[in-house]
Amino acid sequence: MNTIHRSAAAAIAVGLLSLAACVDGPETAAPGAGARVDLAAGADRRPDISLAIEQAERRLDAGREIAAARQALAEVLADPALTLDQRDQARLAMSRVLEAEGDHEAAIAAVESLLGEHAVEEPWPLQRAAERRLRLLVTGSEEKPLPEEPFDAERASPFARALARYFPVQESGPRELTVTVITFGGNREVSERLRTFAIPTAIRALRQEACPRCDKVSINRMSHGTDGWTQIPAARPLLGSSLAVFYFDLGNHRIPARYDADLPLPTADIAARLEKGEGLIAVRERAGAPPAILIAAPRKAQLPAVEEALAAMTEVPAGPIAVPLPDGLTPAEIQAVVRTGFPAYRTCYEALLERRPDAAGKIPLSFAIHGDGTVADVQVDAAAATLRDATADRCMVEATRGLRFPAIGKKTTVVYPIEFSPGD
């Protein structure tokens, strides 16, 4: 049971999700090395350079004196006293100049070039700012998915065993092997639970099965998980020797068409297939390199189901594979939206506590989610409720009516119990 503690006075505990028939302050910069300095002879000019960059950025913020901002940034970039961190800041600002001048493609290329000059495995101070800018320029939104925490287990999926052949062990020379996997998007916890890309474990198991007494091989695994497609420019130097895994949905994880050459299928083809309501798996063989793999679904919450289908495959598919998906919203999608109603539910409970200080129990909410995401037919399931109060019930019903769910074009019926208890 997940619990939200709101104060010493009371707490809201969220019961397990039960679905009816239709449903079986600012972001901190990435850590990195300190600013590296290559000063010309004479006084330290770094403060002057920082001021010049800041003034140029202010001009850009105000949308005026774009030519003056360009000139100032050009002078900064030509200054031999420029540090690497100041250079990155100035180049990001120059991308804004290009955008303000109407050269959108050049603005994108400038950020891609900056990202491409930094190794994907080495975080740097302005990395997140550069990724946000690239996302904004290409999609119009800076929104990105949240990172996930890893989960470990000692086994390999059938698909990991199928991928082992792309990482052959040399029969002569050093008995060492490096397996590099780069993922763009996805949920690392899901991948680790499914052991989708546990290739080193698969290689060891296959070698043990074939020759129990053969020499052991030292296998190094390098796994680079990224937030999504904004890291493609930085990862290109590694793609030629790495297994590349791309996650794609029709929302925030939709990879722009400018990166079609990196994907197993063109993005227009991917989107057309997903719009049918099915998931998609595709693999593109690459000469002299492990394949590029696509895991795609109409909605982000459906990606784990597609990856589960991939992990169970015993062979690498030769062509695109459609993955059937449930019609309704997933429990995770429903839970995420209901949790946005917790502040309103808390207000309902606090009002009840003023009348009944010892009030505690469960209020099960029954409601229907229409295809457009709106909520209807909200009521308290009186037979299952252990906390009854007419005023609190009305308050909970009104709060639930205001929820908005992803529009999937089909009706979903839900029973969601909310449990309340006074604080200790």
**Average pLDDT of the residues in 233-249:** 92
What is the per-residue pLDDT for 166?
Answer: 94
Q: Where would I find the H helices in 119-262?
A: 127-139, 158-163, 188-194, 199-210, 232-239
**Average pLDDT of the residues in 215-239:** 84
Taking all residues of the chain, what is their mean pLDDT, rounded to a whole number? 83
pLDDT band at 6 (very low <50, low <70, confident <90, very high): very low
Q: Could you say which DSSP state residue 316 is in? A: -
What is the per-residue pLDDT for 151?
Answer: 38
Neighbours of 266 (CB within 10 A): 12
What is the per-residue pLDDT for 140?
Answer: 83
Domain 2-24+330-422 adopts which CATH fold? 3.30.1150
For 127-143, the pLDDT digits (tens) are 888 888 998 899 887 66
What is the per-residue pLDDT for 23?
Answer: 36
pLDDT band at 330 (very low <50, low <70, confident <90, very high): confident
**Average pLDDT of the residues in 72-100:** 91
When comparing pLDDT for 362 and 217, which is higher? 362
CA 124 – CA 128 distance, rounded (Å): 8
CA 151 – CA 148 distance, rounded (Å): 9
3 state SS of 180: strand
Say which range, 42-51, 234-243, 271-280, has the weakest mean pLDDT: 42-51
What is the per-residue pLDDT for 141?
Answer: 78
Q: Residue 259 above 80 pLDDT?
A: yes
Extended strands (E) in 167-249 = 176-184, 218-226, 243-249
Most confident of 5-19, 26-40, 325-339, 353-367: 353-367
Question: What percent of the chain lies above the pLDDT cut of 70?
Answer: 83
For 177-192, the pLDDT digits (tens) are 889 999 999 988 899 9
3 state SS of 358: coil
Q: Residue 305 above 90 pLDDT?
A: yes
May I ask the CATH architecture of the domain 46-139?
Alpha Horseshoe (1.25)
Question: What percent of the chain lies above the pLDDT cut of 90?
Answer: 53
Say which range, 119-128, 145-154, 204-213, 308-317, has the weakest mean pLDDT: 145-154
pTM, 2 dp: 0.64
First to last CA, the chain: 18
In one-letter notation, the amino acid at residue 98 is L
CA 139 – CA 101 distance, rounded (Å): 19
Q: Residue 337 above 90 pLDDT?
A: yes
CA 399 – CA 304 distance, rounded (Å): 30
Q: Residue 256 above 90 pLDDT?
A: yes
Confirm whether 2-24+330-422 and 46-139 share one CATH topology: no
Domain locations in the chain as residue ranges:
2-24+330-422, 46-139, 158-323
For 199-224, the pLDDT digits (tens) are 999 998 898 888 877 767 788 888 88
Most confident of 56-65, 306-315, 415-424: 306-315
For 89-140, the pLDDT digits (tens) are 999 999 999 999 999 999 999 999 888 888 665 677 788 888 889 988 998 8
Q: Residue 5 above 60 pLDDT?
A: no
Q: Could you say which DSSP state residue 31 is in? A: P
Q: Residue 29 above 70 pLDDT?
A: no
Q: What contacts 197, CB < 8 A, 6 or more positions away?
A: 157, 159, 160, 163, 181, 183, 191, 223, 243, 245
